[in-house]
Chain A
């Protein structure tokens, strides 16, 4: 699964839908194209990560772009979402 370049307000609902559709299987998300990551989409990603953990499936974010990393660092602190591979 590949993330869209702009993850803003408008992207949050579609992202949630796309993730829900992929539920129940290990997921590797390609974040290489991301140019903007907003808090609403971060919420969706964090919630997905939690959900996958509850389901006992692998969840990882791969090849995060610079913009993704920077936004994630700002919002999550010094522990970027991406580094922390699967958490199942």
Chain B
């Protein structure tokens, strides 16, 4: 059962990719960029999903995919024009197909009504009701209400009255992947009535039988002409796992139907394994006259380039390499402390080891790097749905979807992007009427782009809508007491007010952007990942949200500092500069606070030891060192520490895994001496300074 489950998971993975490609190709067709190959690819994707679904008994999925496939088949054969309206229906159909797949995974339910409506819409596209004429051809009594359409009848092909013989030889691999010969036979019979003959001559007696080996082969004969391609398509999904031979024989060979199984079994020999067709042989046979077999070859060729690896294994490796880095550092430190450290050959060996360790770490991190495509691909559907719900016309343009970022980051990108897109369409874009009135195209454009910039990934969501209504934003902020009525704010500052907690731009909370989540929540979740978000807007022209995140959440470039007896790590990204202040730069303010004058500005000084409760009284800032830090909100502060030990890359370890969140601390790491060092949460430390003036934090009582 486990292996079956594993195969099912593989099928689901493949489906996710197939469906993503499906949508991608449909979008290309919608944009008028596709060609015949694109249509074929679309057809194959749906067909492959259906094929596997049959093997696993997902009836609803098969049924819907079949209708979808039938419609696509019309498009493939040129009966149905891939015009925009048609593609739009198909895009929505692909959404329903995704729903069916999710339901098959047990991760959701299908909106039956929507699915049924979709089926009817698809069926309506098929040859203007001409599918009636093909229905009787489905031949058998089975309850196939859709009737598989033999393609040959549509395509104006010369029809030599010759039969077709297929020999199929399933392999054990095919069965192991969850396919079943009985399903292929059923599909084959559906194409047109066929005579099926079983060859059980290889079957051993029960004690010699391997229950998961393949002993049976079948010969299927169609007396009338049938489309070869339709037959090959049945096996599309299994490729080499079920070698087939297809022969078009002028005179249908007479054969004895109605095999007497008992008689047949009687003369079974203890034959060896199942009949195996070698690969060369197989390809030769497949590449017969019409040569549609090219697909199979290209498929196996492409498969060699990548391998599928369980994510857990990669994560385990990341963990191990993280420990290797720590161990290497510990070893280096111990050697340095000992007498032998002065021996140059050991030192050299250690240098090489360090080099190698870094390289391994980089390579392993690269394995986890993934293109943001997987997140971007989910967005067209979202945009369609929001557009539908708001009555706006939207075109989504994506750029840089191959930009790579660590998988820990990928997983967390989806929510903020979703929210920014909702916001752009719901609040940014105007209605088609408003747009026409202001001389714009009724269709709004939302651009979603990813790029690398100075060691971070940047995601931009821009719209060509009306831009931020600054007087309105200002008014709301004043009404909610977020700013003083007479506050003197730049345009940029006004735009960024929407990120303040408690601010919600929608005067009536719509059910699109509403959902109780404001931009402040988005901002906070992004900050939690060490990211920043900002907005730029031009009235009448549109707005751009810019989100930047570190490329990985597994390692961090930090500055190692000490305070009291403790060693701490400050994220390098938060540090603007480090300085040793002169006494005249320090200006006491109030009973126990001080400001630091730096380049004309005054920033509060925060003793990191006091902020973390490591000591009660701050050290003299002139005796220590000041890290000028900037929080995500742009607030600056001078963090006072005893000394700087150096810069290094550290492996981030969660405190929450075994304990819980700790105020002022973002995470932990393990240093070269094997001890745990805490990584500062710079924002929380800046915020703690503000809180301290109001109330001293109390240790959590239990």
Q: Digit string of B236-273 for contact with A (CB within 8 Å is 1, else 0)?
A: 00000000000000000000011111100110100000
A-B contact pairs, 14 of them (CB 8 A): A9-B180, A12-B211, A20-B206, A20-B207, A39-B180, A40-B180, A40-B214, A47-B204, A47-B206, A48-B206, A74-B182, A77-B259, A78-B257, A79-B258
Tell me which of A16, A49, A84 contacts B211 (CB under 8 A): A16
Q: Is A50 an interface residue (CB 8 A)?
A: yes
- A37-88: which residues lie under 8 A (CB-CB) from chain B? 37-40, 42-44, 46-51, 53-54, 70-71, 74-79, 81, 84, 87
Q: Is the CB of A76 within 8 A of B268?
A: no
Closest-by-CB residue of B relative to A83 is B261
Q: Is the CB of B211 within 8 A of A79?
A: no
List chain B residues, Cβ under 8 A from A9. 4, 175-176, 178, 180, 212
> In the complex, A42 Cα to B214 Cα: how many Å?
11
Tell me which of A36, A78, A79, A81 contacts B57 (CB under 8 A): A36
* Nearest 5 CB-CB pairings of A with B: A12-B211, A39-B181, A87-B262, A51-B206, A50-B265
Q: Is B437 an interface residue (CB 8 A)?
A: no
List chain B residues, Cβ under 8 A from A75. 181-182, 185, 196, 198, 216, 218
Question: B236 to nearest A CB, angstroms?
Answer: 19
Closest-by-CB residue of A relative to B141 is A70
List chain B residues, Cβ under 8 A from A44. 206, 209, 211
> In the complex, A47 Cα to B182 Cα: how many Å?
17
Q: A75-B216, A77-B196 are in contact. List 17 more A-B contacts (CB 8 A).
A: A10-B1, A13-B212, A40-B211, A43-B209, A43-B211, A46-B203, A46-B216, A49-B262, A50-B203, A53-B265, A54-B205, A70-B142, A75-B182, A79-B258, A79-B260, A84-B260, A84-B262
Q: Is the CB of A43 within 8 A of B216?
A: yes
Q: Is A3 an interface residue (CB 8 A)?
A: no
List chain A residues, Cβ under 8 A from B218. 75
> In the complex, A37 Cα to B182 Cα: how many Å?
8
Tell me which of B205, B216, B261 contacts A81 (CB under 8 A): B261
Question: A42 to nearest B CB, angstroms?
Answer: 7
Tell me which of B195, B216, B265 contacts A39 (CB under 8 A): B216
Q: Digit string of A7-21 for contact with B (CB within 8 Å is 1, else 0)?
A: 011101101100110
Closest-by-CB residue of A relative to B178 is A9
Q: Is B186 an interface residue (CB 8 A)?
A: yes
Q: Is A2 an interface residue (CB 8 A)?
A: no
> In the complex, A6 Cα to B212 Cα: how many Å?
16
Question: A18 to nearest B CB, angstroms?
Answer: 11
Q: Is B554 an interface residue (CB 8 A)?
A: no
Q: Is the CB of B268 within 8 A of A71?
A: no
List chain A residues, Cβ under 8 A from B261. 46, 49, 76, 79, 81, 84
Q: Is A23 an interface residue (CB 8 A)?
A: yes
Q: Is B215 an interface residue (CB 8 A)?
A: yes
List chain A residues, Cβ under 8 A from B135. none
Chain B interface size range: 35 or more
Tell me which of A19, A23, A43 contacts B215 (CB under 8 A): A43
Main secondary structure of the interface of A (DSSP, over half): helix
Q: Is the CB of B212 within 8 A of A40?
A: yes
Q: Is the CB of A79 within 8 A of B259?
A: yes
B4, B176, B181, B258: residue with the most chain A Cβ atoms closer than 10 Å: B181
Q: Digit string of B214-239 for contact with A (CB within 8 Å is 1, else 0)?
A: 11101000000000000000000000
Q: Is the CB of A76 within 8 A of B265?
A: no
Q: Is the CB of A76 within 8 A of B206?
A: no
List chain A residues, Cβ under 8 A from B206. 16, 19-20, 23, 44, 47-48, 50-51
List chain A residues, Cβ under 8 A from B216. 39, 42-43, 46, 75
> In the complex, A76 Cα to B195 Cα: how many Å?
10
Q: Is the CB of B185 within 8 A of A74?
A: yes
> In the complex, A37 Cα to B186 Cα: how many Å?
12
List chain B residues, Cβ under 8 A from A53. 262, 265-266
Q: Digit string of B182-212 for contact with A (CB within 8 Å is 1, else 0)?
A: 1001100100000111101001111101011
> In the complex, A38 Cα to B182 Cα: how many Å?
6
Tell me which of B142, B182, B257 contacts A77 (CB under 8 A): B257
List chain A residues, Cβ under 8 A from B258. 77-79
List chain B residues, Cβ under 8 A from A87. 262, 265
> In the complex, A78 Cα to B259 Cα: how many Å?
7
Q: Is B170 an interface residue (CB 8 A)?
A: yes
Q: Is the CB of B189 within 8 A of A74?
A: yes
Q: Digit string of B106-148 for contact with A (CB within 8 Å is 1, else 0)?
A: 0000000000000000000000000000000000001000000
Closest-by-CB residue of B relative to A15 is B211
Known contacts: A9-B176, A79-B259. The answer to whether A39 contacts B209 by CB under 8 A is: no
List chain A residues, Cβ under 8 A from B195. 77
Closest-by-CB residue of A relative to B176 is A9
List chain B residues, Cβ under 8 A from A13. 211-212
List chain A residues, Cβ under 8 A from B182. 37-39, 42, 71, 74-75
List chain A residues, Cβ under 8 A from B268. 50
Question: B231 to nearest A CB, angstroms?
Answer: 16
Closest-by-CB residue of B relative to A6 is B57
Closest-by-CB residue of A relative to B180 is A38
Question: B222 to nearest A CB, angstroms?
Answer: 15
> In the complex, A9 Cα to B170 Cα: how many Å?
13
Question: B207 to nearest A CB, angstroms?
Answer: 7
List chain B residues, Cβ under 8 A from A19. 206
Closest-by-CB residue of B relative to A52 is B206
> In the complex, A20 Cα to B211 Cα: how many Å?
12
- B155-183: which residues lie under 8 A (CB-CB) from chain A? 170, 175-176, 178, 180-182
List chain A residues, Cβ under 8 A from B170. 39
List chain B residues, Cβ under 8 A from A71. 182
- B440-461: which residues lie under 8 A (CB-CB) from chain A? none
List chain B residues, Cβ under 8 A from A50. 203, 205-206, 265-266, 268
> In the complex, A74 Cα to B182 Cα: how many Å?
7
List chain A residues, Cβ under 8 A from B212. 9, 12-13, 40
List chain B residues, Cβ under 8 A from A15. 211
Question: A7 to nearest B CB, angstroms?
Answer: 10
Tell me which of B180, B197, B265 contacts A49 (CB under 8 A): B265
Closest-by-CB residue of A relative to B208 is A47
Q: Is the CB of A51 within 8 A of B203?
A: no
List chain A residues, Cβ under 8 A from B266. 50, 53
> In the complex, A77 Cα to B4 Cα: how many Å?
28
- B377-426: which residues lie under 8 A (CB-CB) from chain A? none
B195, B216, B258, B265: residue with the most chain A Cβ atoms closer than 10 Å: B265
Q: Is the CB of A39 within 8 A of B259?
A: no
